[in-house]
Amino acid sequence: MAEIEQPQIYLITPSEFELSDFPNRLAAVLDAHEIACVRLALASHDEDRISRAGDALREVTHARDVALVIENHILMVERLGLDGVHLADGSRLVRKTRKALGADAIVGAFCGASRHDGMNAGEAGADYVSFGPVGATDLGDGTVAETELFQWWSEMIEVPVVAEGALNADTIRTLSPFTDFFGIGDEIWSQDDAAKALTDLKTHFA
């Protein structure tokens, strides 16, 4: 029986961070761990702030051969020299985005807990589909992406899947056999030593 590969790590930046500090914190994590991709997920709509953050993080990630995608801002991908975009509103813009950015760009879609939306995103050309949150959180409407969704997806769909949102030791252990990536963000950035916090989380990977 083939050994099941461990999920890869997909890092998500905080929604707010200091440019004087965060690139160094990110570099420390990338130097300590094998990371598949980083998502710039600033909540800000200040174009200049996002551009400066994108430039700073691109230097850190590309120096280490790690892909950097940006959340939602499709038009900034090429301008900032990023690798693609993460669409937070499901499958709606996937086909249009794929056409705009071309075949080589990474296009991912967050689909909440909707199997139907995830399938539509995959059919429209998404490189990965993200489901979450996978644990209880006060954010959003309280809907949780259950283990059964990931189990079904891993058996039936070839498009890679990301589990994200309110991850903890228990959900990581439960979902490890059924997800290709763990989208990890506040789970480590809220700690003083993010690299060590990620080391601790990885001990629960199946």
Domains annotated for the chain, with CATH where assigned, are 8-198 (3.20.20.70)
Neighbours of 18 (CB within 10 A): 9
Which pTM does this prediction carry? 0.96
The per-residue pLDDT for range 89-137, each reduced to its tens digit, is 999 999 999 999 999 999 999 999 999 999 999 999 999 999 999 998 8
DSSP type of residue 92: T
Torsion of CA 109, 85, 28, 60, to 10 degrees: 170
User: Using CA atoms, how far apart are residues 160 and 180, in angstroms rounded to an integer?
Assistant: 6
Torsion of CA 35, 40, 41, 46, to 10 degrees: 170
Angle between helix axes 194-202 and 22-32 (nearest 10 degrees) is 40
- Please give the share of the chain, as a percent, with pLDDT higher than 90: 94
User: Using CA atoms, how far apart are residues 2 and 154, in angstroms rounded to an integer?
Assistant: 15
Res 84 pLDDT > 80? yes
Res 139 pLDDT > 90? no
Torsion of CA 56, 103, 31, 50, to 10 degrees: 20
Do 91 and 121 form a contact (C-beta atoms < 8 A)?
Answer: yes
Sign of CA dihedral 64, 101, 75, 38: negative
The per-residue pLDDT for range 148-170, each reduced to its tens digit, is 999 999 999 999 999 999 999 99
Neighbours of 205 (CB within 10 A): 15
Neighbours of 34 (CB within 10 A): 10
